[in-house]
Amino acid sequence: MAVMAMAVGSLAAAGPASGADSQPATATAKAVRGIPTITTQTAKVKGGSQKVHSANIGQNFHSWPECKPGASTMEKVVWNLGKVTRSSARVKSVKVRYYNERELHVGSAYVHDGNHRTQWLKANGWYIPKGPEEWRTYKINKTVKFSKSKPLNFMLKVQMATANEPAWCHARTDLTFQLKPNR
């Protein structure tokens, strides 16, 4: 019970997906059990610049009794876009807000087009320290195509640091931020 209360307090402190969103404490408590690992946002078809904010996604292992406290991570992104058409988007950069209760290893980050072909890749891995939040900006500067029915995406491959517990308490996770045009 103390672990769940700590998880609710910690994840609620990370805040809503945008300044306009607000959730009562009961809604946040329900969301802690099943944080999604994929989210889709819509960009406006227009010639100028725009920023698109994602929802929070992540991974939570608090509900398993074998996992020690602090086995969760939650991220969101801000897409910094240039011209968006019905068939492509100029992705200038992606800014990621990491919120993790343990050190987080990010194995790689990708931008895939609508056909799931890699258009940009940052590999070799890096660590995000434990903490309330840390922002990192990834410069992309690519025009990426949508497919007819599939969005482009920014994907992070992440894994929580171990704390002498079973492997499923720090499993590798793919976090996927999808972007589609408002057709």
Q: Is 9 strand, coil or helix?
A: helix
pTM listed for this prediction: 0.80
pLDDT tens for 105-154 read 999 999 999 999 999 999 989 999 998 899 999 999 999 999 988 999 99
| Rounded-to-integer distance, Cα 148 and Cα 50, Å | 22
Give the tens place of pLDDT for each residue, 34-43: 689 999 999 9
Cα–Cα distance list, 120 to 38, 73, 112, 135 (Å) = 19, 24, 7, 19
Confidence of residue 182 (pLDDT cuts 50, 70, 90): very high
User: pLDDT at position 44, please?
Assistant: 96
Lowest mean pLDDT of 6-10, 64-68, 110-114, 118-122, name the range: 6-10
Residues paired with 122 in a beta bridge:
109
Radius of gyration of the chain (CA): 17
What whole-number percentage of the chain has pLDDT above 90? 59
pLDDT of residue 52: 98
pLDDT at 67: 83
Q: Quick one: average pLDDT of 156-161?
A: 92
CB atoms within 10 A of CB 137: 12
Structure tokens, 28 = 């946040």
Structure tokens at 31: 């969301």
